Amino acid sequence: MKQKLKHRWSISHNYLAGITFGKWIKLLAQNRFYISPAYWHRAAFITASSLLNSLNALIDKARYGAAINQTEITRPPLFILGHWRSGTTLLHDLLAQDDAQFQYANTYQVVNPYTFLTTENFITRMFPWLVPPKRPMDNMALTFSSPQEDEFAPLLMTLNSVYLGTSFPNNEEYYDKFLSFRNVERSKIEEWKAALLYFCKKLSLNDNRSLLLKSPPHTARIRTILEVFPNARFVHIHRDPYRVFQSQRHFFDTAGWYTYLQKPNVEKIDEGLLQRHETMYDAYFEDLPLVAKDRIYDIRFNDLENDPVGTLKNAYDHLSLDGFDRFEPNLQRYLSSLKGYQKNNFSKLDDATRMIVAKRWKRSFKTWNYPT
CA distance 8 to 311: 42
Residue 141 is predicted with a pLDDT of 73
The reported pTM is 0.94
Which residues does 1 contact at the CB level (< 8 Å), separation at least 6? none
Instruction: Give domain limits for the chain.
Output: 15-367
Higher pLDDT, 128 or 178: 178
Residue 364 is predicted with a pLDDT of 97
Spatial CA neighbour of 107 closest among 12, 247, 223: 12
pLDDT band of 42, cuts 50, 70, 90 = very high
Spatial CA neighbour of 146 closest among 162, 132, 164, 127: 132
Residue 81, SS3 per DSSP: strand
CA distance 71 to 139: 37
H helix runs in 211-323, sequence order? 222-228, 241-253, 269-287, 301-306, 308-319
Contact between 175 and 168 (Cβ < 8 Å): yes
H helix runs in 96-217, sequence order? 107-111, 116-126, 152-158, 164-167, 172-176, 186-203
Encode pLDDT of 83-125 as tens digits. Answer: 999 999 999 999 999 999 999 999 999 999 999 999 999 888 8
CA distance 173 to 183: 13
Residues of the chain above pLDDT 90, percent: 85
Backbone angles phi, psi at 322, to 5 degrees: -90, 170
Residue 3 is predicted with a pLDDT of 72
Higher pLDDT, 340 or 108: 108
DSSP strand E in the chain: where? 78-81, 102-104, 210-214, 233-238, 296-300
Residue 341 is predicted with a pLDDT of 64
Tell me which CATH code domain 15-367 carries.
3.40.50.300
Backbone angles phi, psi at 140, to 5 degrees: -75, 140
